[in-house]
DNA sequence: TATTGTTATACTCTATAACTATA
DNA sequence: TATAGTTATAGAGTATAACAATA
């Protein structure tokens, strides 16, 4: 299997596992991903849409549903009042932690037979490749 | 970044890139994924749903849309007439090839600065981890 | 009886285009 | 005039439950 095909295959398996994990917490996979991104760093609606690879018009509804569940609040930027940032509530933050732990547990269980050195190597390579793929010059997208 | 977090991050970047690629061919990412799975091997509706990580009830509509576009045909198993397999048409097969090439081109471009040895290593590790994650004893999912 | 695919339903995600508020 | 977020709309993906056909 060549490099792009291997990325595709891995992506598929992680998507299935991550989706199943999200569902256990009554979240869609997109909701879990949105919360995870906000946990990584503070993002506006537009930046969030770019990270999730979807149109900004979708964010309104997605954030609304998570606000209704008490996992997010809207925060308007005082310096530029056009900009709004969804921010994790304590409950939202705790949920992200629980999802991450659950996902890590499933991955750990399934990869139990993998040598630690290979996992370490994989983690390092995945970080490098992620960085390469995420280049923001996405004009051709 | 630990192993599960690195998998998550990589998964996200691939999802965005793969989704953008699918969109260029007027496909949703799930449609592209469905076609890709069928190109890898012959699958029934139920098996396909398991691969995609969703309920079998969704497959009817998804396959219907792709049949309407001439990319798939339904084929009933003569040995067990409950089983139906969606099969790629020539057009569907050609589309899968084009999507795969397009995705490989984007990945290749973005990872151009990555040493070939690292790409090779990544491809091998991704295959190993994919296999580990895809274990079919999914009773806890 | 059990399994496979289908249908009905309700909700969520998605892109497009037009809109409001702010800069 | 440009940008950030919202709204309206239509189409697609999703899970649940009940169903028909086949085994």
Q: What percent of chain A is predicted at pLDDT more than 70?
A: 96
* A140 pLDDT tier (thresholds 50, 70, 90): very low
Q: Look at residue B138 and tell me whether its pLDDT is greater than 70.
A: no
In this structure, what DSSP letter does residue B25 have?
T
Q: Are the beta carbons of A114 and B100 separated by less than 8 Å?
A: no
Is residue A91 within 8 Å of residue A103, measured between CB atoms? no
CB contact under 8 A, A14 and B133: yes
3-state secondary structure chain A: CCHHHHHHHHHHHHHHHHHHHHHHCCCCHHHHHHHHHHHHCCCCHHHHHHHHCCCCHHHHHHHHHHHHCCCEEEEECCCCCCCEEEEECHHHHHHHHHHHHHHHHHHHHHCCCCCHHHHHHHHHHHHHHHHHHCCCCCCCC
To the question of domain B3-133 being in CATH 3.10.129.10, the answer is no
pLDDT digits 0-9 by tens, A17-43: 999 999 999 999 999 999 999 999 999
Contacts B2 to A, Cβ<8 Å: 104, 123
For residue B119, is pLDDT > 50?
Answer: yes
Q: Which of B27, B34, B25, B113 is nearest to A133 (CA)?
A: B113
* Helix pair angle (A57-68, A29-40), 10° resolution: 90
Q: Which of residues 99-118 of B touch A (CB under 8 A)?
A: 100, 103-104, 106-108, 110-111, 113-114, 118
Amino acid A136: pLDDT: 64
CA distance A90 to chain B (A): 21
Q: Mind giving me the DSSP string for B51-114?
A: HHTS-THHHHHHHHHHHHTTSEEEEE-SS-TT-EEEEE-HHHHHHHHHHHHHHHHHHHHHTTTS
Nearest nucleotide over every DNA/RNA strand to the A30 CA, judged by C1': C13
How large is the average pLDDT for residues B61-82? 98
Domain ranges for chain B? 3-133
The answer to whether residue B1 neighbours chain A at the CB level (below 8 Å) is yes
Which structure tokens are listed for A20? 């199943």
pLDDT in tens, A47-94: 999 999 999 999 999 999 999 999 999 999 999 999 999 999 999 999
pTM assigned to the model: 0.95
| Predicted pLDDT at B135 | 82
Average confidence score pLDDT of chain B = 95
Please report, rounded to whole angstroms, the spatial distance between the CA atom of protein residue A141 and the C1' atom of nucleotide D18.
43
CA distance B19 to B13: 10
In this prediction, residues B56-81 reach a mean pLDDT of 98
Q: What is the band of B136 on the pLDDT scale with cuts at 50, 70, 90?
A: low
Tell me whether residue A50 is exposed, middle or buried, using C-beta atoms within 10 angstroms of its C-beta: 0 to 12, 13 to 18, 19 or more: middle
* Residue B16: both structure tokens together: 């965005």
Within 7 Å: CB of A110 and strand D?
no
Q: How far apart are CA B28 and CA B22, in angstroms?
A: 6
* CA–CA gap between residue A124 and residue A8 (Å, rounded): 18
Q: How many Å from the N-terminal Cα to the C-terminal Cα in chain A?
A: 25
B51-58 long-range contacts (CB < 8 A, ≥24 apart) are B51/A12, B51/A16, B52/A16, B53/A15, B53/A16, B53/A19, B53/A20
Q: Which nucleotide comes closest to B19 if you measure CA to C1'?
A: C14
């Amino acid at each position: 299997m060549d490099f792009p095909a291997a990325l595709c295959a891995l992506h598929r398996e992680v998507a299935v596992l991550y989706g199943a994990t999200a569902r256990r917490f009554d979240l869609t996979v997109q909701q879990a991903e949105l919360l995870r991104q906000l946990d990584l760093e503070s993002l506006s609606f537009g930046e969030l849409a770019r990270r999730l690879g979807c149109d900004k018009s979708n964010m309104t509804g997605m954030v609304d549903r998570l606000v209704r569940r008490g996992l997010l609040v809207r925060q308007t930027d005082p310096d530029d009042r056009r900009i709004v940032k969804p921010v994790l509530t304590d409950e939202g933050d705790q949920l992200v932690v629980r999802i991450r732990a659950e996902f890590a547990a499933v991955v750990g269980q399934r990869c139990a037979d993998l040598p630690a050195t290979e996992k370490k190597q994989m983690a390092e390579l995945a970080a490098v490749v992620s960085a390469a793929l995420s280049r923001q010059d996405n004009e051709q997208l």
